[in-house]
Amino acid sequence: MIYGIGCDITEIARMRRAAEKEHFVRRAFSEQERQRFDGMRDPCESMAGAWAAKEAFGKALHTGVSGFSLDEVSVLHGENGEPYLELTGNAAKAAEGLTVHISISHEHDYAQAFCVLEKD
């Protein structure tokens, strides 16, 4: 049964400006995500997609991104490049009993993400 659906769109140029602030990057992204971004020539497109996914997850929970830290939601990728969320701390507690599905797209100046939460 569908528990919640969320979507978000993020302007890549806005993420580029935000990423200039180290405090923002440390607060918004997990260590795993930051390590992945460090290996990229221009990580801002991926950062915008990850940010949109975190926002979409919060919307699907019906709470927004309150009640957990953004760095407790890691956007990782499987063997075929498909995104998935790794949840820790309060984010994991908020999603207990839920299956998370995430999709991220990039087009020109924007990154967009959809999140569907299924109740087990």
What residues make up the domain containing 42? 2-119
pLDDT tens by residue, 78-117? 999 999 999 999 999 999 999 999 999 999 999 999 999 9
pLDDT (0 to 100) of residue 87 = 98
Cα–Cα distance, 117 to 99 (Å, whole number): 6
pLDDT 10s digits, 55-89? 999 999 999 888 899 999 999 999 999 999 999 99
* Distant-in-sequence, close-in-space partners of 33: CB < 8 Å, separation ≥ 6: 50, 74, 75, 76
Distance separating alpha carbons of residues 9 and 64, to the nearest angstrom: 14
* Tens-digit pLDDT profile for residues 33-59: 999 999 899 899 999 999 999 999 999
State the CATH number of the domain containing residue 29. Answer: 3.90.470.20
Residue 106 bears catalytic tag: yes
List the catalytic residue out of 21, 62, 101, 106. 106
Cα–Cα dist 94/92, whole Å: 5
Q: Measuring CA to CA, which residue among 93, 104, 102, 101 is closest to residue 118?
A: 101
Catalytic position from the list 59, 77, 93, 119: 59
pTM: 0.94
Confidence of residue 120 (pLDDT cuts 50, 70, 90): confident
Nearest to 102 by CA among 71, 40, 66, 60: 60
pLDDT number for residue 74: 98
Q: Can you tell me which residue has the tokens 């075929």? A: 80
Give the chain's domain count. Answer: 1
pLDDT at 18: 96
Burial status of residue 61 (CB atoms within 10 A of its CB: 0-12, 13-18, 19 or more): buried
Instruction: Tell me how far apart the alpha carbons of residues 22 and 2 are, in angstroms, rounded to a whole number.
Output: 37
Query: Could you give the 3-state DSSP secondary structure of residue 59?
Result: helix
